[in-house]
């Protein structure tokens, strides 16, 4: 049963122009919409009916009939509507529709289709002397428009990290940009943050598995919009952007450096900028600290780190954390811009469908319909909000790679976040400990097996290959994966059964490609 309110007094009814629902046995999908922009009360008018199988394939019915009436009054329409002809787009014209009085109406559609007869009913409430329906929006329901608006960047708040005192600081962002592109941040002098997060590739690197000083085990996610996350890395091993920013600096295969040499380099190249931002000078103390020292350095470097006075280690950690916070201040500025999807939704609301339809192709719109269809795809379960992510972790049966090597995902990330000395409960965070209790880290490790972070779908067409290990090269192959209902991998997965035709897979992938940033005019 589908309900529709047509009311002159309502300010929202103009978008509620389409009735769509599955028939009682789930065999067919039926859509009804007014053919004209104005539906006069007590006067004849025409409607359009569209028919699809439950899988989304259009068909010509053996029989098709529409009846209408007012159940509370016990009578039908004064004139029986007639399905008169098939239109060029495959839909059918219904002539002789007439709501002769205001009140609660019910329309019943009977379909004789390739899988047998079935029917669906729609409830309407008609009020006012003249019912105006915006026919320019007839392809989209009010509910769909509301969901689309929730997905636009106009609903994205400005990022702010209370654990980072330099969050939103323009001077810190400027220095962070210099550090981000500086190859001296690596031990070899050949790798910068931009090596794996190239602005030309939406801040990814185009590789299945990233390569810094060596190949690592995972794919580099985009940094566009990263400041809106609560957890970082595919497994959520860090709980702030600044704590994430310093981790690659000391990681094998990424930048292979150590914290003392990082701080010494900043003191050498950016001392004045650093002091102006933090109010603290790095020299001359940094010159006296031993080179190649840190808790993750080689054996000689670890020994040198352990032999440093405790107050010196604290000073290094404080400066190292500041480097991360300054890098994070820059990464906060990497925000998505409106995509063609955003422009489509804005045009739909402001100018109507004739203007909006020029912004998304027919296939892209069909893919958007599928994306919003919770009964068929459930895409919105994980990919919702302005960045098309719930920021959560889910098991989609990708924990074991094709070579058989397991990646336990979130269950390891939880432990790593808890042990990280730079987490939000640590002494280097600017967030009061009362606002970051241990409860934040508590989780069922076994339940988290094989879970990975839900990525943003913004700029997804620019960030191939896909998944945490880059196993899929194209968007079509990703969508097709969701239709295969894989066996349990590491722990039970959460994927529902999903049936899509080859055409629908292409349409859904086509819509996803419309989520890329559009350049400023």
- Per residue in 322-343, pLDDT (tens digit) is 999 999 999 999 999 999 999 9
Query: Does residue 402 have a pLDDT over 90?
Result: no
> Quick check: 399 and 409 in contact, CB under 8 A?
yes
Query: What is the C-alpha to C-alpha distance for residues 363 and 369, in angstroms, rounded to an integer?
Result: 10
Banded model confidence at residue 435, pLDDT cuts 50, 70, 90: confident
Fold of the domain spanning 2-138 = Immunoglobulin-like (2.60.40)
Query: Does residue 140 have a pLDDT over 60?
Result: yes
Query: What is the C-alpha to C-alpha distance for residues 459 and 206, in angstroms, rounded to an integer?
Result: 13
pLDDT at 1: 35
> Quick check: 327 and 246 in contact, CB under 8 A?
yes
Q: What is the model's pTM?
A: 0.75
> Quick check: 45 and 35 in contact, CB under 8 A?
yes
Banded model confidence at residue 437, pLDDT cuts 50, 70, 90: low
Banded model confidence at residue 88, pLDDT cuts 50, 70, 90: confident
The domain defined by 170-331 carries CATH number 1.10.760.10 = yes
- Per residue in 8-24, pLDDT (tens digit) is 222 222 334 578 888 99
170-331 has the same fold as 2-138: no
- Per residue in 193-222, pLDDT (tens digit) is 999 999 999 999 999 999 999 999 999 999
pLDDT at 253: 96
Mean pLDDT of the chain: 88
Query: Does residue 490 have a pLDDT over 90?
Result: no
Here the tokens at position 347 are 């045009």
Query: Does residue 459 have a pLDDT over 90?
Result: yes
Instruction: Write the CB contacts of 103 (distance below 8 Å, at least 6 apart in sequence).
Output: 70, 72, 73, 125, 126, 127
Q: What percent of the chain has pLDDT over 90?
A: 63
**b/e per residue, 94-129, with b = 16+ CB within 10 A?**
bebbbbeebeebbbebbbebeeeebbbbbebebbee
Query: What is the C-alpha to C-alpha distance for residues 322 and 280, in angstroms, rounded to an integer?
Result: 10
Banded model confidence at residue 135, pLDDT cuts 50, 70, 90: very low
Q: In what order do the strands lie in the sheet with 116-127?
A: 2-7, 116-127, 103-113, 63-70, 75-76
pLDDT at 169: 98
- Per residue in 352-364, pLDDT (tens digit) is 667 788 899 989 9
- Per residue in 217-275, pLDDT (tens digit) is 999 999 999 999 999 999 999 999 999 999 999 999 999 999 999 999 999 999 999 99
The β-bridge relationship of strands 116-127 and 2-7 is parallel
CATH of domain 340-409+449-513: 1.10.760.10
Q: Which of 66-75, 254-263, 414-423, 481-490 has the highest mean pLDDT?
A: 254-263
Q: What percent of the chain has pLDDT over 70?
A: 90
pLDDT at 132: 43
Residue among 346, 322, 377 at smallest CA distance from 512 = 377
Q: Where exactly are the structural domains of the chain? A: 2-138, 170-331, 340-409+449-513
Determine the average pLDDT of the residues in 126-151: 65
Determine which of 137-146, 205-214, 301-310, 353-362 has the lowest per-residue pLDDT on average. Answer: 137-146
Q: Where are the beta strands (DSSP E) in 114-247?
A: 116-127, 130-132
> Quick check: 416 and 471 in contact, CB under 8 A?
no
Comparing 513 with 11, the larger pLDDT belongs to 513
> Quick check: 120 and 109 in contact, CB under 8 A?
yes
Determine which of 19-33, 48-62, 119-133, 490-504 has the lowest per-residue pLDDT on average. Answer: 119-133
pLDDT at 138: 53
């Amino acid at each position: 049963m589908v309900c529709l309110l047509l009311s002159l007094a309502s300010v929202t009814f103009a978008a509620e122009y389409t009735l769509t629902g599955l028939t009682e046995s789930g065999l067919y999908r039926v859509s009804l919409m007014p053919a004209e922009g104005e539906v006069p009360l007590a006067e004849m008018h025409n409607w359009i009916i569209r028919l699809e199988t439950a899988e989304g394939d259009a068909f010509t019915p053996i029989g098709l009939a529409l009846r209408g009436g007012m159940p509370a009054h016990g009578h039908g329409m004064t004139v029986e509507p007639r399905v008169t002809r098939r239109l060029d787009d495959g839909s059918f014209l219904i002539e002789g529709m007439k709501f002769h009085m205001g009140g609660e109406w019910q329309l019943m559609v009977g379909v004789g289709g390739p899988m047998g007869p079935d029917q669906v009913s729609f409830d309407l409430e008609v009020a006012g002397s003249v019912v105006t329906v915006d026919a320019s929006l007839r392809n989209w329901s009010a509910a769909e428009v509301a969901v689309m608006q929730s997905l636009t960047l106009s609903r994205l708040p400005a990022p702010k990290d209370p654990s980072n005192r330099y969050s939103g600081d323009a001077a810190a962002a400027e220095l962070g940009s210099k550090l981000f592109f500086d190859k001296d941040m690596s031990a070899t002098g050949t790798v910068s943050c931009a090596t794996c997060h190239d602005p030309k590739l939406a801040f990814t690197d185009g590789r299945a598995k990233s390569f810094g000083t060596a190949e690592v085990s995972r794919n580099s996610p985009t940094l566009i919009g990263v400041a809106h996350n609560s957890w970082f890395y595919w497994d959520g091993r860090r709980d702030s952007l600044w704590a994430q920013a310093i981790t690659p600096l000391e990681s094998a295969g990424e930048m292979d450096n150590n914290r003392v040499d990082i701080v010494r380099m900043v003191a050498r190249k950016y001392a004045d900028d650093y002091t102006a931002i933090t109010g603290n000078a790095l020299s001359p103390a940094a010159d006296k600290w031993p080179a190649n020292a840190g808790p993750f350095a080689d054996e000689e470097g670890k020994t040198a780190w352990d032999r440093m006075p405790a107050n010196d280690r604290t000073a290094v950690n404080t400066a190292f954390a500041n480097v991360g916070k300054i890098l994070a201040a820059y990464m906060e500025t990497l925000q998505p811009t409106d995509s063609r999807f955003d422009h489509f939704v804005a045009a739909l609301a402001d100018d109507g469908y004739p203007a909006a339809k020029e912004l998304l192709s027919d296939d892209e719109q069909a893919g958007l319909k599928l994306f919003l269809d919770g009964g068929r795809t459930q895409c919105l379960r994980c990919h919702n909000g302005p960045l098309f992510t719930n920021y959560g972790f889910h098991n989609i049966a990708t924990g074991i790679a094709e070579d058989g090597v397991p990646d336990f995902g979130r269950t390891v990330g939880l432990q790593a976040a808890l042990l990280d000395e730079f987490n939000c409960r640590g002494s280097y965070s600017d967030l009061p400990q009362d606002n970051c209790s241990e409860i934040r880290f508590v989780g069922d490790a076994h339940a988290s097996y094989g879970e990975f972070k839900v990525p943003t779908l913004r700029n997804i067409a620019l960030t191939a290959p896909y998944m945490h290990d880059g196993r899929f090269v194209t968007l079509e192959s990703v969508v097709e994966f969701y239709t295969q209902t894989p066996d349990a991998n590491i722990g039970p997965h959460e994927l529902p059964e999903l049936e899509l035709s080859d055409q629908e897979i292409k349409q859904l992938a086509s819509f996803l490609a419309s989520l890329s940033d559009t350049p400023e005019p």
